[in-house]
Amino acid sequence: MRGLLRLGPIGELDVSQWIGEPPAPTMADLQGRVVAIEAFQMLCPGCVSHGLPQAIRLHKTFGSDLVVIGLHTVFEHHHVTGPKALQAFMYEYRIPFPVAIDRPQERGIPATMERLSLQGTPTLLLVDKTGQLRLNAFGQVEDLPLGAAVAHLLDEQV
């Protein structure tokens, strides 16, 4: 994962609500930081078995060097995966980072998911210190190349 392409500026996440601590960051606030965003749905088996445990490992491994954020991109089962359901899910699965709820839209695909053309869940996004999207990976990413990718972004001089 060396030489990660620049995929364009991430822009602001268009979200309806944040759950968890610390309080909602804007991407502008996070300039100068490397950010990992785990896009998931609480009833998506691959998110529960792979994506979220990996995001928790990222959070533990990189500590304050890396900002880890969840993004609840609901495009199925909207009626049973609202904020209260998400809150119960986060409690049970001990999610240690804040989660943004992607803004619902009439057609079913939420706003940020649509704007960034996410292919499904889980999707892992990496954002560099200048706010550029550098990884947009749908499905399973292995830990070894992921650890390397985050480290390369941390090492980049702005």
Residue 139 within binding range of a copy of itself, rule CB under 8 A: no
In eight-state DSSP terms, residue 9 is: B
Asked whether 122 and 39 are in contact (CB, 8 A), the reply is yes
130-139 exposure pattern, b = at least 16 Cβ within 10 A, e = fewer: ebbbbbbbee
Q: In this complex, which beta carbon is closest to a copy of itself, that of residue 49 or of residue 105? A: 49
Q: How far apart are CA 14 and CA 72, in angstroms?
A: 11
Q: Which of 14, 17, 25, 62 binds a copy of itself (CB under 8 A)?
A: 62
Q: Which of 23, 45, 107, 117 binds a copy of itself (CB under 8 A)?
A: 45
Q: Shortest approach of a copy of itself to residue 4 CB, angstroms?
A: 11
Residue 149 within binding range of a copy of itself, rule CB under 8 A: yes
Q: In this complex, which beta carbon is closest to a copy of itself, that of residue 79 or of residue 107? A: 79
Residue 3 within binding range of a copy of itself, rule CB under 8 A: no
Q: In this complex, which beta carbon is closest to a copy of itself, that of residue 111 or of residue 154? A: 154
Cβ neighbour number for residue 82 with a 10 Å cutoff: 15
CA-only gyration radius of the chain, Å: 14
Alpha-carbon 84 to chain mean position = 20
Residues that bind a copy of itself (CB under 8 A): 2, 43-45, 48-49, 57-58, 61-62, 65, 76-77, 79-82, 84-85, 88-89, 92-93, 142-152, 154-155
